[in-house]
Structure 1
């Protein structure tokens, strides 16, 4: 899978909306797919954290090494066994799990790296977002793009319901599973008229999930 043509913002966008999900007592944090380390850098400026990262792209990983405490360069599956057991208070996957061939096994395996009260925190694109629903149902199409929900590097596609099921089947207790980055478009309201307002999940670009191993 070729990530070389991705725009720079792909690796440098700070996901501010995901900061609020970090537990107040978290001290040791891992971000899988940390890009250039910008998310961890922001968190470390505001809190006394030990922040690790895993990043597949070597150039971005080198940048992350300058601002994070420890960085692994390569596929996250390669380094799971090198991570300390029962160590991290939070493990972030900010729009990462959809890029992995088998996110189900990855979540199950990385669970042992969480501390007793640790959590996995993820942002995952919502396949039922109104634009994708329109493309599939009305345009009868399935067209990939350079970025976004239909990113050509996405290996898996999820809905809010399937995200929760993935965590539960991997042995987690889901604490939060909610839509984020709500659209300002009125189109979802129009679509919902047809379905008696039973399709409210189509307003959300992604789902944020927080899950613990206990």
Structure 2
């Protein structure tokens, strides 16, 4: 698996993710960016909110780049062994395109609760398996084909739809505040079919969903 990550284009680790700004709270004092890559998203948060940003990134080269941009970076996976002080809490914990890379995303969400402030938010983006090109590949071409990036990324270990994303969070003790498709694509035939079906397949326009959740206490 490590070899697959090593072969990623540098752009894979450098996204800023401006499309997630609309889901952020009005104020952030300190946040944790899990899978921070090269630190560009965290750097943007620091510029917008003048806040403290910690990052977690297992890729050594990306973690080194992020250390120059963020307040603290852990070059490791987000697991029970991570050396975040027990008393440290965060206003926001981000999982931007991370949970699908984990064999047990449930464990990551459970661990996040330990470090999330009582009024804090989990904000995540997760690929949508019902994205139109992925479904067409399966139904028309009869192929579950892995790619270098996107919904069918070779490094994805888990796959989700809007319904299963909601279930993942609810079953792990979270209350959903918002869930919305992002980075919408337009497909002519899907637009027509969705109109005929009264909007019942509108989720197929979106390669990802953004989700905002709080602890269900």
Question: TM-score, with normalisation over the residues of structure 2?
Answer: 0.93
Distance 1:70-1:81 versus aligned 2 partners, 3 A rule: closer
Q: Quickly say closer, same or farther: Cα 1:44–1:142, change in 2 above 3 A.
A: same
Aligned position for 2:54: 52
Residues 113-153 of structure 1, C-alpha deviations (whole Å, 9 max, x = no match): 10010011000000001111111122211000111110010
How far has the Cα of 1:204 moved from its partner? 0.8
Structure-2 residue corresponding to 1:21: 23
Task: Report the CA distance between 1:8 and its aligned residue.
Answer: 0.7
Question: What is the match of residue 35 of structure 2?
Answer: 33
Distance 1:85 1:120 in 2: 18
- 2:137 is aligned to 135
Name 2:64's counterpart in structure 1: 62
Q: Which 5+ residue runs of structure 2 have no aligned equivalent?
A: none
Moved over 6 A (4+): none
1:164-210 deviations in whole A, cap 9, x for unaligned? 00000000011011111110232321343664531111011100000
The residue that corresponds to 1:158 in the other structure is 160
> Residue 61 and residue 86 in structure 1: after superposition, are their counterparts in 2 closer, same or farther (change >3 A)?
closer
User: 2: distance between equivalents of 1:80 and 1:177?
Assistant: 28
Gaps of 5+ in 1: none
**Whole-angstrom CA distance in 1 between matches of 2:71 and 2:166:** 31
CA-atom RMSD, angstroms?
Answer: 1.6
Match for residue 146 of structure 1?
148
Q: 1:83 to 1:181 in 2, by over 3 A?
A: farther
SS in 2 for 1:29: strand
Q: Hey, what's the Cα distance between the residues in 1 that align with 2:184 and 2:49?
A: 28
Q: Structure 1's 31 and 40: CA in aligned 2 closer, same or farther, altered over 3 A?
A: same
Report the Cα distance in structure 2 between the residues aligned to 1:113 and 1:18, rounded to whole angstroms.
Answer: 21
Task: Give the match for residue 92 of structure 2.
Answer: 90
In the comparison of the two structures, how many residue pairs are matched? Answer: 214
User: Which residue of the other structure, out of 79, 88, 99, is the alignment partner of 1:77?
Assistant: 79
- 2:79 and 2:111 in contact (8 A); partners too: no
User: Is the contact between residue 13 and residue 38 of structure 1 (CA under 8 Å) also seen in structure 2?
Assistant: yes
